[in-house]
Structure formats: structure tokens, C-alpha cells
Amino acid sequence: MSMLSLFIFFLLAFAMTYFMRTYALKKNIIDNPNERSSHNVPTPRGGGVAVVCSYLLALAVLIYNQQLTLHIGLTLIAAGFVIALLGFLDDHGHINSMLRLAIHFLVAISVVISLGGFSEVTAFNGLVLGFSANIIAVLFLVWLLNLYNFMDGINGIASVEAITTVVSMAILYYVLNTTLNSDILWLLAACVFGFLLWNFPKAKIFMGDACSGFLGLTLGILALIALKENLALFCAWIICLGVFVVDATYTLIKRVLSGYKMYDAHRSHSYQILSRKWGSHTPVTLAVAAINLLWLLPLAYYTVTQPLAYPEFMVLVAYLPLILIAMKLKAGHPDA
């Protein structure tokens, strides 16, 4: 993948975000602050459509140039388009949460089938998961899709998480000289960066559900494709996504155990608590980038380069400090 190609798609996403901002202002597609919000100024939303459109075009170009197999490319395009369209419609008007979740499951099931299933996957040094691996894969995609939406709450955080994750994995692909295509990772980073400049440090437009769900699903599919290669590489993906996985999962479990509904609006994620404590979104987003590059990336590198009997153990090592941070901040607590 040439630098020129990356620059072209960066510019495309950047320009399209400008047009999406103009469109949102004209159509009054505004995110007004509520009890879940971490912002206090009405801001146009839906800018992430630029990421979706530019990345889907990038995938089509890779397929045309025979740099990406038709099967993998169409799986990413079809699934991503459906989820992005669903999010776009939800941004323009409310869609019933149960209908939305049902579509999430249908898309996830279709992806797992398209990838050939995961019944052959073994874990913990020889444990054959069989058909249950397919169920786990579906739940993984649905949860990652939704948690990315939950975590898209302050300036730049969803974009920075995506960029640092895919860049980290692209580096690991290069180190391993894997057969997996790293071009799709670099292109995703370029497209997201084009949007990020409109969203950080001061948000001129928000990403919206169309893109947050799209990113969560896309990252999940890329992780499952890596699982087809080897378990350690999949664990590296899970490690690199650790900040979002831990914060969203810990907060949800804490709230459900406290009697709250899963989709109740709230501001008790670790990142939201920190943004209030520190009085700004910027240092929180930069802290996420630092954790991803200085803590999670080295652990992911160790996981894929060392002949570990249990690469799953490295996921626990990576997550433990993040869990302790969530506990310290009282994430999910009603008074947080």
C-alpha cells in the first residue's frame, strides 16, 4: 500500500466529513446534551459516515486491484454497510432497541457463516471448542459492535482507539510476515484519521451510531479473520482492544448487578468519570492512546512472538491493571 493511496483516502474522509457536517447542520441532525452525555454544547452528529463511505470504497479498490480476496472483501463490505445503514437511520430517527439488536445478531451470524465457522478452533492448549466457538464468535461481534457505541462518548476516543488498534496490529502483521492483509488496516487508520481532525481536540461534529457500530463490527471481523490464522494473533487483537473491552464490560456488569437496564443512559464509564475529574476530554483520549501504545502493544507483541502455551493468559495480564483502574474509579456505580 503506497503512501499516496493512504493520503488520498485520508483526504477523501476529511472532505466528506466537512460535507456531512454541512448536511447535519442543514437537516438539524444535532446531538443535544442529555444524562448520558459528556458534552454540554449541541453538536452536529453523523460525521462518521465519511469514514464508512471512504473505507468501503477503499475495500472495493483493493478487491479490484486483487490485493484483497473477493470473499473477505465482500464480507467486510456487506456486513459493514448493513450496520452503518442501521446506525444512520437510528441517527435520523429512533429505531426500536430490540429490532436493532436482532439485526446485529443476524449480521453477526451471517459473518460467521461467511468466514466458514470456527468449530476447528482450540483454546487453552488443546481444548476443542466445536460448535460453541461459533456461538462465542457471534456474541463477540455483537458485543464489540455495541460496546463501541457505548464508548463513543468523548472527543476523539473512538477514533483514537480504532487508529491505535489497527496500527498496532499492522505492525504485528509486518513483524510476523503473516499472510493476512495489512493494507486493510492502514487504510482504515487513514480514513478514521481524516474524521479525527474534525472531532479532536474540539469536536466540530460527532461520529454517530453509523460509524461507531461500523468500527466495532469491522474490528471484530478483522480479529476473527486473524483467529483463522492462529489463536495468539486473535489474542493480540483482544489485548489491543483492551481499554474499550474492559471499560464497557466492567461497567455493564456492575450496572446490571445494581439493577439497571443494559440500555439505560448513564455517564459511569471510566473514561466519562475521568473526563469529569480532569475537566477535559483531551487528556483522557491521549491517555487511551498512551495505554494502547505503551502497555497493550508491547504485550500483544510478546504474545505473538513468543511460543506461549497459553496466549489467553496474556489477555488476563493486559486486562488486570485496566480492571483495577475501573474498580478504583467506581465505574458503573450510580454515584460515579
Q: Is 334 within a domain? A: no
Look at residue 308 in the predicted model and tell me its pLDDT. 86
For the chain, counts of helices (H) and of strands (E): 14, 4
What pLDDT score does 37 carry? 63
335 is a domain residue = no
Structure confidence at residue 335 (pLDDT): 65
Identify the domain containing residue 128 by its residue range.
3-328
- pTM for this model (two decimals): 0.95
Please indicate, yes or no, if residue 92 is contained in any of the structural domains.
yes
Which pLDDT value is given to residue 267?
87
In a domain, 324, yes or no: yes
E strand intervals along 200-286? none
Contact 9, 186 (CB under 8 A): no
Q: In the 3-class helix/strand/coil scheme, how is 46-88 assigned residue by residue? A: CCCHHHHHHHHHHHHHHHHCCCCCHHHHHHHHHHHHHHHHHHH
Q: State how far the Cα of 7 lies from the Cα of 133, in Å rounded to an integer.
A: 39
**Within 13 Å and on the Cβ side, how many CA atoms surround 318?**
30
* Average pLDDT by stretches of 10, the chain with 336 residues: 91 97 88 68 90 98 95 97 94 85 97 96 88 97 95 94 98 92 96 97 92 97 96 97 97 89 82 94 97 98 92 97 97 78
In a domain, 299, yes or no: yes
Q: How many domains does the chain have?
A: 1
In a domain, 93, yes or no: yes
- Inside any domain, residue 333: no
What is the predicted pLDDT for the residue at 125? 84
- Residue 182 in any domain: the answer is yes
